Structure 1
Amino acid sequence: MKLKTSRKTLSVAVATAFGAGLAMSPMAMADTNPFGATELNGGYMQVAGSHSGEGKCGEG
């Protein structure tokens, strides 16, 4: 009898925690595109022009 009471108490606690988590989580916004891209203004081509000589697999 004690085991059934313990399982029931545990299942009620887990269900309550799950329900509270769903209630407190923010709803998904349908008005914004989650896969939308934004244009980068600069800073992403800083390393492209420099050749330091690394990665030549044993040359020189």
Structure 2
Amino acid sequence: MNKDQVKGTAEKLKGKVNEAVGRATDNPQRELKGDMQQAAGQARKNVGDLKEAAKDVTKRHH
């Protein structure tokens, strides 16, 4: 696991919390912020996943 995967997962978790709090307190702005954080977190995690996959491919070909 690399730092992009860890930070992406953490950002997704923060987004889920903000979304839930926004929904519970009827705060659409906070809910939207949570949705955006989750999307950004997933994107960063995807970058980390690609880096890990590239490392695995490189290791197999050496």
| TM-score range normalised by the length of the shorter chain | 0.3 to 0.5
Which structure has more RCO (C-alpha within 8 Å, separation ≥ 6)?
2
- What's the TM-score, normalizing by structure 1? 0.43
| TM-score normalised to structure 2 length | 0.42
Select the structure that is richer in helix. 2
Q: Say which one has the larger Rg.
A: 1
